[in-house]
């Protein structure tokens, strides 16, 4: 079941679409695989941000209208302290295939769309009870 974390923040307006910036811990192929449902999405490597620190990735996402997607808690913690933008989607999933991650992000599209358009929310936590192996 997804959980959403909130923090008071300045109003930023509604987003027109869900545009993901995939963290280094996710496959670069996911951005292309998800382009039909999340157009304009990218991976940190494709943006020249491979091996960049979290602050650099955060600022890039903020400046360019991305929602950060990561399997690490670092960006979730940053969202609690700094609020948003950018918004963060934290994938609380064990080691799994890129196909499993793609499936989760596709299945959660409507939840993610509502989350992105809710000015009061900063981090969406997505997880699965069971994962295919």
Give the Å distances, CA to CA, from 66 to 29, 116, 121, 124: 17, 10, 15, 14
**How many domains, in total, are found in the chain?**
1
**Residue 132 falls inside a structural domain:** no
Q: What is the pLDDT of residues 95-105, one digit of tens each?
A: 889 999 999 99
Helix axes 109-116, 98-107, angle to 10 degrees: 60
Residue 75 domain boundaries: 3-127
Q: Residue 116: helix, strand or coil by DSSP? A: helix
- What span, in angstroms and rounded, lies between the C-alpha atoms of 117 and 84? 12
**Residue 133 falls inside a structural domain:** no
**Residue 73 falls inside a structural domain:** yes
Place of tokens 């940190």: 44
| pLDDT for 59 beyond 90 | yes
Q: What is the pLDDT of residues 61-87, one digit of tens each?
A: 999 999 999 998 999 999 989 888 999
CB atoms closer than 10 angstroms to residue 52: 16
**Residue 118 falls inside a structural domain:** yes
pTM here is 0.82
């Amino acid at each position: 079941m997804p959980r959403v974390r909130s923090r008071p923040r300045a109003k930023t307006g509604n987003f027109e679409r869900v545009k993901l910036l995939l963290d280094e811990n996710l496959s670069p192929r996911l951005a292309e695989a998800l382009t039909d449902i999340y157009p304009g999405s990218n991976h940190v490597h494709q943006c020249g941000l491979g091996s960049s620190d979290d602050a650099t990735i955060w600022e890039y996402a903020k400046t360019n209208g991305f929602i950060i997607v990561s399997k690490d808690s670092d960006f979730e913690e940053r969202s609690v302290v700094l609020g948003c933008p950018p918004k963060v989607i934290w994938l609380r999933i064990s080691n799994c295939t890129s196909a499993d991650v793609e499936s989760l992000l596709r299945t959660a599209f409507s939840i993610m769309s509502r989350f992105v358009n809710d000015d009061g929310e900063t981090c969406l936590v997505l997880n699965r009870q069971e994962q295919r192996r």
